[in-house]
Amino acid sequence: MWGVYLEQLLQSLPFFLQGLWMTIAVSGLSLMAGTAVGFLWGILRSSRRRVAKALIGAWVDVIRGTPFLVQIFVLFFILPEFGVHLEAFPAAVLALSNLAACFICEIVSAGIESVPHGQREAAVASGLNGYQQLRHVILPQALRVMLPPLVGQYVLLIKDSSVVSAIGVVDVTRVGWLTVQRIPQGILVFGLVGLLYFAICYPLIQLSNALEKRLGRSARR
């Protein structure tokens, strides 16, 4: 019996690959936007600008404290009340970018704080300006600490992107949901969905572990 279903499933493989492409597009775009914004917020947060710090801190707490599903519903259903009509795709990218930015912001500010205070003092003493201190002294050292959790965060981002299927973005999870209505074999259909996610996420997790081992060891010296 499974043979028939397996054949049907293989026939809809192109559909799954389209879904996979959508997953990659949503998480890829959010990854780039989230990293850029997250770095900016993280740097501001570890600076001495008190208002910016408090605002970013509060926003990060709100985003960390609520489910992503609720965030995406808020964005998708409430913005129209302001007269802003977003399609599912840009809404998904916006919500996911914001989520990523909040988590990356924490990683960045923790990374910056991990650099010993003497480093900044040395940079100040040699006459570097604020930007130069950051660019040439602080960030290169902070990056060592930040890289493994950053890659780990990208894995979370890809996994979280599955939630955008709830507002109708046709990503891999949504393709699975649509397919299972036709081919009522949940194990088979979502086994395939899982396999596709695994193919992207597993190598990234290994990369994060390897980075942690390499950078962690050299950072301790």
Task: Give the residue carrying structure tokens 């499974």.
Answer: 2
**Shortest reach from residue 50's CB to another protein, in Å:** 21
CA dihedral 127, 133, 137, 141 (to 10 degrees): 160
Query: Shortest distance, CB of residue 119 to another protein, whole angstroms?
Result: 22
Q: Which amino acid is at 42?
A: G
Q: Which is nearer to another protein, 133 or 173 (CB)?
A: 173
Element holding 38 (H helix, E strand): helix 13-45
* Least Å from the CB of residue 52 to another protein: 22
Please tell me the distance from the alpha carbon of residue 97 to that of residue 85, in angstroms, as a whole number.
Answer: 18
Enumerate helices (H) and strands (E) in the chain, giving the number of each. Answer: 10, 0
Q: How far is the CB of 221 from another protein (least distance, A)?
A: 18
111 in Cβ contact with 142 (< 8 Å) = yes
Query: Taking the complex as a whole, how short is the minimal distance between the CB of residue 30 and another protein, in angstroms?
Result: 14
Q: 159, 147, 138: which is closest to 213 by C-alpha?
A: 147
Residues 6+ apart with CB under 8 A from 153: 100, 103, 104, 107
Q: Contact, 12 vs 170, CB < 8 A?
A: no
**Integer Cα distance of 64 and 20 in angstroms:** 27
Residue closer to another protein by CB (options 29, 201) is 201
Q: Which is nearer to another protein, 139 or 212 (CB)?
A: 212
* Of 51 and 187, CB closest to another protein: 187
User: Which residues would be at the binding site for another protein (CB under 8 A)?
Assistant: 61-62, 64-71, 73-74, 77-78, 81-82, 155, 158-163, 165-166, 172-173, 176-177, 180, 184-187, 189-191, 193-194, 197-198, 201-202, 205
Q: Which is nearer to another protein, 38 or 176 (CB)?
A: 176
Nearest approach, Cβ of residue 132 and another protein (Å): 34
Q: Of 138 and 172, which has the nearer Cβ to another protein? A: 172
